[in-house]
């Protein structure tokens, strides 16, 4: 007699599905065909994934003798972003792809296009133009290129390839007898774009006495005109635009925009300013040669490796401790802040350059998502004179910044937490200026509670 119970139980055991426990993952076996399919897909995807990998491009531009080329224009073709090479011929772009291409142009050299390599490190050699010609696609010139400064006479150069103008060529010598304004702008500069209607108004107000020429590094005519067509406040502007500029930037080198070059009726360089001087009052002062009190714009490079005292010159330094100091505004430097770690001295330096008091409080509170420097509803200034902390609309911003901007530096052990440094920065602002800045809950006019920045005098 056979044991049917045993056979039934063994059959049930064979037919029972084994469910893997959560602690033991269960993998389905792949057939040979499936394995081949996976391998093929990986082979196809690997090049695509490597091309999508973000990297930083660094490089140097040099001539056939290996000498670095300064002020060469390096353009990332995918985005149109561009940089100019440093005195050592170097440049860098971050967040690029392995397949990105660059276009490199410089006055006196043949424009080159190169493709990024997998390492992101490039050495680019430019070939000289035949016969030593000094031309660029947009501008041609015969004189040697030398940066111009106040008091220099404008050379006889011809601007070609203009857009948004009655002619495609302007010879600057033909404009003698008129005041000239060269306005350098980029689409990334909001204040530059906002000043274009003002320039257009000045041009229409003084058609016989003034010629405004705007300058941009945008390389395409259609793209340039698109900037104006897509913004209602720029519709109808009739100002000549020099596109793909390299020469004027070398004649009037600058780091920050807006940048306006003022030339008198005798074609003598009179001033370099920002857009805050673009008013009929200053144009009248220009005609009457009364510009000596203007605050001239000149851009100095800032080396964060240097201590703040390197830039102070004869300006008074106001130390708070042995490792902390405030100074007045440092001429020629743009507003900026950050940390620098010196591995040799094992010190960390925190610096703030040319910021007003309200901006300093904003810098030392990075975790508070409250843009109280921009929006009045996010601040309460309970002080006797708010003009010490905010410029009024009627004042010249450059003149206000000259009196109400300051610089700061503190030095710490290399491993100090940045949050600790910023907290001390806030205390130093309070102590040095006799103020108390903080974030509080306040009830607004509608009865709602909101966080605001509050500033009171001690």
In tens, the pLDDT along 188-224 reads 788 888 889 999 999 999 999 999 999 987 767 777 7
Instruction: State the pLDDT at residue 140.
Output: 38
Q: Does residue 95 register a pLDDT over 90?
A: no
Residue 407: which residues within 8 A CB-CB, separation 6 or more?
Answer: 308, 311, 326, 327, 328, 329, 330, 333, 351, 352, 353, 354, 355
Give the pair of three-digit tokens for residue 325: 């100091």
Q: What is the pLDDT of residues 167-179, one digit of tens each?
A: 878 888 899 999 9
Instruction: State the pLDDT at residue 317.
Output: 67
Q: Does residue 92 register a pLDDT over 80?
A: yes
Domain 139-287: give its CATH superfamily: Glutaredoxin (3.40.30.10)
Q: Does residue 405 register a pLDDT over 90?
A: yes
3-state secondary structure of 271: strand
pTM for this one? 0.61
Given this chain, do its domains 52-131 and 139-287 carry the same CATH topology? Answer: no
Determine the Cα–Cα distance for residues 315 and 318; give it in Å rounded to an integer: 10
Instruction: State the pLDDT at residue 13.
Output: 46
Banded pLDDT at 38 (limits 50, 70, 90)? low
Question: When comparing pLDDT for 306 and 407, which is higher?
Answer: 407
Q: State which H helix or E strand residue 424 sits in.
A: helix 418-433
Instruction: State the pLDDT at residue 119.
Output: 64
Percent of the chain with pLDDT over 90: 31
Determine the Cα–Cα distance for residues 59 and 222; give it in Å rounded to an integer: 30
Report the mean per-residue pLDDT for the chain.
Answer: 81
426-452: average pLDDT: 91
Least trusted range by pLDDT, from 68-82, 341-355, 427-441: 68-82
291-319: average pLDDT: 79
Give the pair of three-digit tokens for residue 366: 């990075």
User: Any alpha helices (H) in 214-279, and if so which ranges?
Assistant: 221-229, 247-251
Architecture of domain 52-131: Sandwich (2.60)
Determine the Cα–Cα distance for residues 149 and 171; give it in Å rounded to an integer: 20
Q: Does residue 144 register a pLDDT over 60?
A: no
Banded pLDDT at 316 (limits 50, 70, 90)? low
Q: Does residue 225 register a pLDDT over 80?
A: no
Q: Does residue 61 register a pLDDT over 80?
A: yes
Q: In degrees, to the nearest 5, what angle opens at C-alpha 135 toward C-alphas 129 and 138?
A: 135
- Locate the domains of the chain by residue range: 52-131, 139-287, 309-457
């Amino acid at each position: 007699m056979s044991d049917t119970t045993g056979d039934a139980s063994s059959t049930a055991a064979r037919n029972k599905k084994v469910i893997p426990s959560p602690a033991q993952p269960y993998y389905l076996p792949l057939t040979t065909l499936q394995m081949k399919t996976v391998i093929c897909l990986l082979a196809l995807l690997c090049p695509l994934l490597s091309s999508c990998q973000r990297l930083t491009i660094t490089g140097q531009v040099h001539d056939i003798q290996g000498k670095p080329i300064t002020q060469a224009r390096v353009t990332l073709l995918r985005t149109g972003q561009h940089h100019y090479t440093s005195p050592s011929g170097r440049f860098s772009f971050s967040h690029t792809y392995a397949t990105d291409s660059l276009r490199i142009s410089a006055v006196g050299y043949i424009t080159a296009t190169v493709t990024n390599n997998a390492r992101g490190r490039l050495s680019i050699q430019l070939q000289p133009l035949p016969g030593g010609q000094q031309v660029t696609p947009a501008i041609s010139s015969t004189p040697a290129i030398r940066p111009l400064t106040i008091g220099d006479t404008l050379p006889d150069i011809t601007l070609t390839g203009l857009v948004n103008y009655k002619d495609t060529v302007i010879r600057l010598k033909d404009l003698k007898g008129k005041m000239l304004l060269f306005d350098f702008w980029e689409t990334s500069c909001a204040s530059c774009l906002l000043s274009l209607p003002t320039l257009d108004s000045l041009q229409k107000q003084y058609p016989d006495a003034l010629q405004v020429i705007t300058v941009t590094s945008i390389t395409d005519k259609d793209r340039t005109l698109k900037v104006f067509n897509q913004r209602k406040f720029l519709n109808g502007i009739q100002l000549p635009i020099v596109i793909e500029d390299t020469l004027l930037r070398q004649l009037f080198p600058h780091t920050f925009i807006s940048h306006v070059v003022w030339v008198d009726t005798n074609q003598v360089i009179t001033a370099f300013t920002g857009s805050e001087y673009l008013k009929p009052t200053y144009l009248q002062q220009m005609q009457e040669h009364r510009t000596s009190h203007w605050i001239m714009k000149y851009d100095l490079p800032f080396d964060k490796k240097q201590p703040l005292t390197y830039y102070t010159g004869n300006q008074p330094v106001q130390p708070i401790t042995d490792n902390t100091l405030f100074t007045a505004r440092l001429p020629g430097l743009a507003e900026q802040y950050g940390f620098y770690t010196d591995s040799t001295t094992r010190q960390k330096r925190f610096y703030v350059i040319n910021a007003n008091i309200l901006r300093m409080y904003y810098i030392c509170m990075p975790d508070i998502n409250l843009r109280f420097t921009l929006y009045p509803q996010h601040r309460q200034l309970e002080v006797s004179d708010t003009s010490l902390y905010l410029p009024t609309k009627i004042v010249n911003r450059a003149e206000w910044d000259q009196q109400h901007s300051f610089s700061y530096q503190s030095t710490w052990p290399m491993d100090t937490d940045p949050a600790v440094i910023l907290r001390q920065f806030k205390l130093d602002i309070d102590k040095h200026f006799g103020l108390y800045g903080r974030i509080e809950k306040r009830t607004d006019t509608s009865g709602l509670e909101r966080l605001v920045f509050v500033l009171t005098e001690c």
